Amino acid sequence: MYKVLIADDHPLFRDAIVHIFGSKFPDSTTYETEDIASTLEFAKSHDDIDLILLDLNMPGMSGLNGLLDLSNECPTTPVVVVSAENKKQVILQTIAYGAVGFIAKSSSKETIAEAIATVFEGNIYLPADIIRNQSSPNSKKEYQLLPEMLSSLTRRQLMVLKCMTKGEANKQIAYNLNVSETTVKSHVSSILKKLGVSNRVQAVVGCSDIDFNQYLKR
């Protein structure tokens, strides 16, 4: 179903996440790394990973630099930070650095499972108290896309982006459009560059009010 990399230096926590996937997301395949160097190496050599769960305090992380490196090296792979960090500024900064979600390590198994499901649906996940603080009218403008940005996309890229807004993973998009998953990944990478966003969730949020049929009629 999904291929997930659990990047954390605590074996007991990795085991807990593996158990969550086994019970909540059957048929998923999980992989494990315990430092940022091996995480980067694995992610770059496995471009079919659907999600990376990343601990901020692994060896070699150096604050948020590890997350930034991962976002730059693998821009089409969603990354969710799973951390004991509780400072609001740091949590929001992880999203600015390319993460598609933040899960507190103190969360219950049910909350972690719900958060992961939210991300798989193509949404950003943040703790409830952070969302309440960010629900002002200005919060969405950070990801607002201009019409001319969408006009720069090819018809096939628009079709891929439309599928992304429905929360479809690359495998499903490839099936729907009758192309290879590698081709979809290439389109997604080009879409992110043209739209000037760092990850697919920012692109999806920015397109929430877009009428794709208008652009596909060109």
Complete domains list, the chain, with CATH: 3-133 (3.40.50.2300), 142-216 (1.10.10.10)
Q: What is the DSSP string of the chain?
A: --EEEEE-S-HHHHHHHHHHHHHHSTT-EEEEESSHHHHHHHHHH-TT--EEEE-TTSTT-TTTHHHHHHHHH-TTS-EEEEES---HHHHHHHHHTT-SEEEETTS-HHHHHHHHHHHHTT--B--HHHHHHT-SGGGGGGG---HHHHHTS-HHHHHHHHHHHTT--HHHHHHHHTS-HHHHHHHHHHHHHHHT-SSHHHHHHHTTT--HHHHHT-
Contact 165, 123 (CB under 8 A): no
Q: Which of 32-41, 69-78, 122-131, 145-154 has the highest mean pLDDT?
A: 32-41
Say which residues have a Cβ less than 8 Å from residue 216's Cβ, sequence separation at least 6.
155, 158, 159, 162
Report pLDDT for 141: 44
Contact 192, 75 (CB under 8 A): yes
Q: Please, which residues bridge with residue 81 across strands?
A: 54, 102
The pTM assigned to this predicted structure is 0.67
Q: Would you say residue 135 has pLDDT above 60?
A: no
Q: What is the pLDDT of residues 51-90, one digit of tens each?
A: 999 999 999 998 889 998 998 888 888 999 999 988 888 8
